[in-house]
A and B are shown apart, each in its own frame.
Chain A
Amino acid sequence: MIPLFLGITLITFVVIHIAPGEPVEMQIAMNPKVTAEARERLRKFYGLDKPLYVQYAVWVKKLAMLDFGRSFAPGNRPVVDRIKERIPVTLSLNIIALIIEFGVAIPIGILAAIRRDTLFDKGMTVFVFIGFAVPTFWLALLLMYLFGVKLGWLPISGLHSMGSEGFTRIHWFLDLLKHLILPVSVAAFGSLAGLSRYMRSTMLDVIRQDYITTARAKGLPERAVIFRHALRNALLPVITLLGLSVPGLIGGSVIFETIFAIPGMGQLFYGGVMARDYPLVMGILVIGAGLTLAGNLLADVGYAMADPRIRHGKG
Chain B
Amino acid sequence: MTTVKESFFYQVFWTRFRTNRFAITGGVVVILLFFLSLLAPYITPYGPDDLDLFHVLMPPSSAHWFGTDDLGRDVLTRMIHGATISLKVGFVAAGIAVIIGTVIGLVSGYYFGWVDNILMRFVDIMLCFPTFFLILAVIAFLGQSIWYIMIIIGLTGWMGVARLVRAEVLSIRERDYIMAVRALGAGDLRIIFRHILPNAMSPVLVSATLGVAGAILTESALSFLGIGVPPPTPSWGNILTSGKDYIEFAWWLTLYPGLAITVTVLAYYLVGEGIRDALDPRLNR
Contacts and interface: CB of A to CB of B under 8 A. Distances in A.
Interface string B116-145: 000001101111111111101110111000
A251 B130 CA distance: 5
Classify chain A's interface size: 35 or more
Interface string A1-25: 0011001100110011011110000
B262 interface: yes
Nearest to B210: A132
B105 interface: no
Contact of A250 (B130, B137, B254): B130
Given A247-B130, A251-B130, A259-B244, A16 B141 contact: yes
Secondary structure of the B contact surface, majority rule: helix
A187 interface: no
A87 B98 CA distance: 34
B5 to A, nearest CB: 29
A86 B124 CA distance: 27
B247 interface: yes
Q: Which of B129, B133, B244, B266 has the most A CB atoms < 10 Å from its CB?
A: B133
A133 B262 contact: yes
Nearest to B214: A132
Contact of B125 (A4, A133, A142, A145): A4
B216 to A, nearest CB: 9
B133 A269 contact: yes
A114 interface: no
Nearest to B248: A149
A192 to B, nearest CB: 15
Contacts of B258: 134-135, 138, 141-142
B251 A288 contact: no
Given A129-B273, A135-B261, 20 more contacts: A4-B128, A7-B121, A18-B138, A18-B141, A129-B22, A130-B262, A133-B261, A141-B243, A141-B244, A141-B254, A142-B258, A247-B127, A255-B225, A259-B244, A269-B133, A270-B225, A273-B137, A273-B141, A285-B133, A285-B137
Interface of B: 22, 121-122, 124-134, 136-138, 140-142, 213, 217, 220-221, 224-225, 227, 240, 243-244, 247-248, 251, 254-255, 257-258, 261-266, 269-270, 273
Across the A-B interface, the 6 shortest Cβ-Cβ residue pairs: A251-B132, A19-B141, A138-B258, A251-B130, A133-B266, A7-B125
Interface of A: 3-4, 7-8, 11-12, 15-16, 18-21, 129-130, 132-138, 141-142, 144-145, 149, 247-248, 250-252, 254-255, 258-259, 269-270, 273-274, 276, 281, 284-285, 288-289, 292-293, 296
15 contacts: A8-B128, A16-B141, A20-B142, A129-B266, A129-B273, A132-B266, A142-B254, A145-B251, A247-B130, A248-B130, A288-B130, A288-B133, A289-B130, A292-B127, A296-B128
